[in-house]
A and B are shown apart, each in its own frame.
Chain A
Amino acid sequence: MNRGSLAKILSVSAVGALVLTGCGQAGQGGGSASGEGPVELTMWTHSAGNPAELEVYEQIIDDFNASQDEYEVVEESFPQGAYNDAIVAAAAADDLPCLLDMDGPIVPNWAWAGYIQPLGLPQEITDSLLPTAVGTYQDEIYSAGYWDAALAIFARESVLKANDIRIPTTDEPWTLEEFDATLATLKAAGYDTPLDLGAEDAGEWWPYAYSPMLQSAGGDLIDRDTMLSADGTLNGPEAVEYFTWFQEAFEQGYTSNAGTVGNEEFNADEVALSYTGVWNALDSLDTVGDDLLILPPPDFGTGPRIGGGSWQWGISSSCDSPEGARAYLEFSFQDKYITAFSDKQVVIPATEGAVEASQHFGPEGDLRPFVELSQEFALLRPQTPAYPVISSTFAKAGQDIMNGADVQSTLDGAVAEIDANIQSNDGYGF
């Protein structure tokens, strides 16, 4: 290293630093009016890396910006896997945008913390939406979404017929005994692990996919009447029974957590049944064709259940122009946009009008069964600010049980953790 190169480093660095200071950006600051132009409304989505979904947003924003000259929506997209970390950091730094989308179950937490404000959309809009596409906390609406997702069991008709397995319907789903017998039959028929539960996934998938089964068995994540304790619901006899079944399903080789996230194993006919989401349906339809069955999950005791609640939109409390944000959201809840989301994303449209118009979910649509499943069986995850800790604790307990931990003591530990958290937050306002 000679003197010349040090001088170079120094000058390059100094110039760079100056340029960067010039580039320094002001914070997001919600919406701000700068001089004459329209009021700027900042908006964050979790859709980076998902061109199909972004395309629809860009269409709505362009249309909205062109339809009036009072407001201008400016969109910023984040990759889904990093989105929650990003918005939590922004909230801590008091730097949230005006409009942001959130995964449904965390909405009560954000409302409780005061980061989002009541949505204030006209009632005819929120009433027209699927109940699982609306986020409420303490009887106040804080968020609304364009769609919902749904889970089902995918199967091949030919495989079930060949093994003399009854094809279940929404009116007459498989009972647990039937389901166990089905798994045993399929295993005997040569499927190494007949059922793909998606257990190789992590995070929110666990409560989304498996807490409805727990509810079907008569347990729950928390006592929804008080929202103050998980004792008796997450570790009661029904919950223990369900998780014992869950653990044994892995032990007996009916299912496994090998493989990668996605539905490849089903499409390749390595598993006979796959518990997975509507987002995988088109791929399977392509590979399996007419042979594909979209079936309700089994009845663990109190009727089948599936999870409801997907991404929804809210308005931050720090938004300088909530009227503008509301105007945008009102504008965006048009059937044509909701249909567009549904067609591009393969998700269930939140309004009836859009369902009728949609390519896949209309009366003759190839994915119509999902609409029925969603209407009949969808249940929201508990709408409490304690949800983030419930979710993380449930996922961890479920994974531990899958890996052979003692069921009762693991659930007791999870209950203790959830209850301690609720107490330390003075009941989260309940």
Chain B
Amino acid sequence: MATASLTSRPASRTAADPGEHVLRRRRKVWSYVAMSALAVVFLFPLVFMFVSSLKPDAQILGDVGSPRAFLPVGDISLDNYFGVFDRVPVGQFLVNSVLVTVLTVGLGLVVNSMAGFALSRMRWKGRSVVLAIVIATLIVPFETIAVPMVYWVSKLPTLVMEGGILKYDFGWLNSYHVQIVPFIANAFSIFLFTQYFSTIPKSLDEAARIDGAGWFTIYRRIIVPLAGPAFATVAILTFLPAWNQYLWPLMVVQQEELRPVMVGMQYFFQLNTAWGEVMAYTSLITLPVLIVFLSFQRAFVSSVAASGVKG
């Protein structure tokens, strides 16, 4: 598996003659210049965000047009962070988002990889129809079906504990599962799994079949262990939208205890926006994602890249 990664060795090239050596050094210098300039462009909004979170509102607005916007100068304090904790139940929202994200991603990996397995390695009636449905659903942006969805989930049955008795009721609004279940199956994930699985040699299945293994066993024992990059890719790609959910929880979750982090952003847009607190809050909710990303960056990036080729 020649998977690209942040740390993998780039293709090596041998210098043929001294003239080319000079040429290569010059190219190297220019590469650094270009990459550094680009690095500034890619980082400065985030630096602006973190730096502004330490300043009072008036100073953020005053600094916005000068290089001071990137520098922690002037009236620096953690006041905005205290303000955030006064205004928003940050801890609760973070817990909710972690829960929703982990379950959406976890269940999604299982459900979508099984579907990808069946679609890529098994022969069955209706396979092409199902594949067509999966591909067709790729093009549906969630916003366009949000309204019918609200109406629809409000009619779905659910189980409730009432006075120690398990009963069923109608309406999925105002729960954790309404934030999770609709997003488990994901056409893009199925598609990536299908593509990736189809590159694993079929002879492995055949050998296992001869040994009497069932299809689920083949999936679990042979394919899954070989498909690490695909799982990691799907995990990342479904992690981000799950963490960033906004419109949907806004529409279907009424209790504050169940709200995710992105909805919390609206708490700062009162008659006048508390910009310092907005910056502090966005820093707070971006930080976990950055930490997760940086600590898993090798697996992250290599696997996104690895499955990319397969497209």
Contact = CB atoms under 8 A, between A and B. Distances in A.
Q: Do A and B come into direct contact in the complex, CB within 8 Å?
A: yes
B28 interface: no
Interface stretch (B10-18, B42-50, B146-154, B289-297): B146-154
A372 B109 CA distance: 64
A370 to B, nearest CB: 15
Contact of B251 (A21, A86, A260, A262): A86
A20 B151 CA distance: 21
Interface centre among A16, A76, A263 (most CB of B within 10 A): A16
Contact of A95 (B99, B107, B171, B232): B171
Interface string B239-274: 000000001001110111000000110111111110
B237 interface: no
Nearest to B88: A49
B33 interface: no
A355 to B, nearest CB: 21
Contacts of B162: 26
Contacts of A277: 271
Given A1-B225, A24-B159, A76 B171 contact: no
Contacts of A27: 154, 169-171, 173-174
B180 interface: yes
Contact of B256 (A76, A80, A89, A264): A76
Nearest to B162: A26
B298 interface: no
A421 B225 CA distance: 59
Contacts, number: 151
Interface residues of A, number: 52
Contact of B150 (A9, A22, A92, A97): A92
Contacts of A162: none
B221 interface: yes
Interface in B93-134: 99, 102-103, 106-107, 109-110
B252 A16 contact: no
B160 A3 contact: no
Contact of B252 (A44, A80, A89, A262): A89
A77 B57 CA distance: 25
A48 interface: yes
A3 B221 contact: yes
B300 interface: no
A66 interface: no
Nearest to A35: B163
Interface string A254-275: 0000011111100110000000
A181 B103 CA distance: 64
Given A80-B269, A277-B271, A6 B220 contact: yes
Contact of B110 (A9, A80, A85, A89): A9
Nearest to A5: B231
Contact of B177 (A24, A78, A80, A85): A24
B180 A20 contact: yes
B270 A49 contact: yes
Interface in A23-51: 23-28, 35, 44, 48-51
A405 interface: no
B273 A24 contact: no
A57 interface: no
Find the residue from A44, A94, A263 having the highest chain B CB count within 10 A: A94
Nearest to A27: B171
A323 B109 CA distance: 51
B197 interface: no
Given A12-B106, A20-B175, A260-B275, A25 B160 contact: yes
A210 to B, nearest CB: 17
Nearest to A23: B176
Given A3-B221, A25-B174, A79 B271 contact: no
B158 interface: yes
Nearest to A94: B154
A28 B110 contact: no
Contacts of A93: 150-151, 153-154, 171, 173, 252
Contacts of A122: none
A23 B161 CA distance: 8
Contact of A79 (B58, B221, B254, B267): B267
A3 B177 contact: no
Contact of A1 (B169, B228, B254, B268): B228
A340 to B, nearest CB: 18
Nearest to A97: B254
B267 A25 contact: no
A17 interface: yes
A279 interface: yes
A352 B163 CA distance: 48
A39 B63 CA distance: 54
A58 to B, nearest CB: 13
B193 to A, nearest CB: 12
Contacts of B250: 82, 85-86, 89
A387 B86 CA distance: 36
A177 to B, nearest CB: 32
Contact of B61 (A3, A16, A264): A264
19 contacts: A1-B232, A3-B221, A9-B110, A17-B103, A20-B176, A23-B175, A25-B175, A26-B160, A48-B266, A50-B270, A78-B254, A79-B266, A80-B269, A89-B250, A92-B154, A93-B153, A95-B174, A261-B273, A277-B271
Given A16-B99, A28-B254, 6 more contacts: A16-B106, A22-B159, A24-B172, A48-B256, A49-B270, A80-B270
- A-B CB proximity, top 3 nearest: A49-B267, A93-B154, A79-B266
Interface of B: 57-58, 61-62, 86-88, 99, 102-103, 106-107, 109-110, 147, 150-151, 153-154, 158-163, 169-177, 180, 220-221, 224-225, 227-228, 231-232, 247, 250-252, 254-256, 263-264, 266-273, 275
